[in-house]
């Protein structure tokens, strides 16, 4: 047990030490205790062997990061070297009809080459139908970047939702999410929080029609998203539409 804890601490501490300037993405606590906990450049994630993908990613996004010179997007998807047990490979998505959908968006990680590279590890990828990934999900990601520029600093948690349909993809039978959630916490006063549940399909509905209470997502996942944030429980009870 001591050896396992030591390895876990190294995974969390070493990348931050190398980067020096990195934010503590888990400043408000762990949403859950995943099979593998990784602190990548630009984001932290909780990986599930059963789901063959992250069940949450958490990262802090700042206006300063978005205003930095942008690293070139290389689109080089790769297995995550930290996933040793049956790692998902880019080819597992080939000819399945599903996009390799980012949980931590590549555009949010463009402030450094290494963050951009890490965003293309398959541990950060989830099966998304093209109509979702290139439509409503892309619109939501753009809106979040707009809010980060306006507010200065956000904490964002994103992940897949499975409602029991048990749909799988490809020969590896990777579970396909029914929907995706995104939770956004404004880290500047006055603090505020909003959340979305986006279905994994195409839709032309307005973003604010998908706003939900964080409590609803916690109920669906069994996670506690901000255990170390004061007054989080009160803020999580009510849907909050941001403009």
CATH number where 172 lies: 3.40.570.10
In a domain, 243, yes or no: no
Which pLDDT score, from 0 to 100, does residue 6 have? Answer: 36
Percentage of the chain modeled with pLDDT above 70: 91
The chain-wide mean pLDDT, for the chain, equals: 90
Beta strands in the chain (DSSP E): 36-40, 43-48, 53-62, 99-102, 125-128, 153-161, 168-169, 174-175, 179-186, 192-199
**Residues 24-36: what's their mean pLDDT?**
95
How many domains does the chain fold into? 1
In a domain, 104, yes or no: yes
The answer to whether residue 2 scores a pLDDT higher than 70 is no
**Residues 115-125: what's their mean pLDDT?**
97
**Residues 218-226: what's their mean pLDDT?**
96
**Residues 105-116: what's their mean pLDDT?**
96
The answer to whether residue 189 scores a pLDDT higher than 80 is yes
Which pLDDT score, from 0 to 100, does residue 20 have? Answer: 35
* Segment among 5-14, 173-182, 196-205 with least mean pLDDT: 5-14
**Residues 104-123: what's their mean pLDDT?**
96
In a domain, 34, yes or no: yes
In a domain, 240, yes or no: no
**Structural domain for 17, as ranges:** 2-235
The answer to whether residue 107 scores a pLDDT higher than 50 is yes
The answer to whether residue 3 scores a pLDDT higher than 60 is no
Phi, psi of 128 (to 5 degrees): -125, 135
- Long-range pairs for 219-222 at CB < 8 Å and ≥24 separation? 220/161, 220/163, 220/181, 221/32, 221/55, 221/56, 221/159, 221/161, 221/181, 222/32
Which pLDDT score, from 0 to 100, does residue 22 have? Answer: 58
In a domain, 24, yes or no: yes
pLDDT in tens, 49-62: 999 999 999 999 99
The answer to whether residue 23 scores a pLDDT higher than 80 is no
Which pLDDT score, from 0 to 100, does residue 233 have? Answer: 86
The answer to whether residue 145 scores a pLDDT higher than 60 is yes
Q: Which of 162, 228, 151 is nearest to 184 (CA)?
A: 151
The answer to whether residue 83 scores a pLDDT higher than 80 is yes
Which pLDDT score, from 0 to 100, does residue 238 have? Answer: 86
In a domain, 241, yes or no: no
In a domain, 25, yes or no: yes
In a domain, 242, yes or no: no
């Amino acid at each position: 047990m001591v050896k396992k804890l030591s390895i876990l601490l190294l995974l969390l501490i070493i990348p931050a030490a190398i980067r020096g300037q990195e934010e503590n993405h888990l400043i408000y606590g762990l949403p859950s205790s995943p099979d593998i906990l990784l602190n990548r450049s630009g984001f932290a994630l909780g990986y599930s062997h059963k789901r063959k993908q992250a069940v949450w990613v958490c990262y802090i996004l700042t206006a300063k990061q978005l205003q930095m010179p942008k690293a070139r997007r290389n689109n080089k998807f790769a297995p995550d070297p930290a996933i040793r047990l049956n790692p998902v490979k880019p080819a597992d998505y080939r000819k399945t009809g599903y996009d390799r959908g980012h949980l931590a968006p590549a555009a949010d990680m463009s402030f450094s080459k290494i963050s951009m590279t890490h965003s293309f590890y398959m541990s950060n990828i989830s099966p998304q139908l093209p109509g979702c990934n290139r439509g409503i999900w892309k619109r939501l990601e753009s809106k979040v970047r707009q809010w980060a520029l306006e507010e200065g600093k956000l904490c964002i948690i994103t992940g897949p939702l499975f409602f029991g349909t048990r749909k799988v993809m490809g020969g590896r039978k990777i579970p396909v999410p029914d929907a995706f959630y995104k939770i956004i916490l404004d880290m500047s006063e006055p603090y505020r929080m909003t959340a979305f549940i986006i279905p994994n399909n195409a839709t032309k509905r307005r973003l604010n029609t998908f706003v939900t209470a964080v409590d609803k997502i916690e109920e669906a996942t069994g996670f506690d998203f901000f255990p170390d944030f004061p007054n989080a429980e009160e803020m999580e009870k009510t849907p909050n539409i941001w403009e």
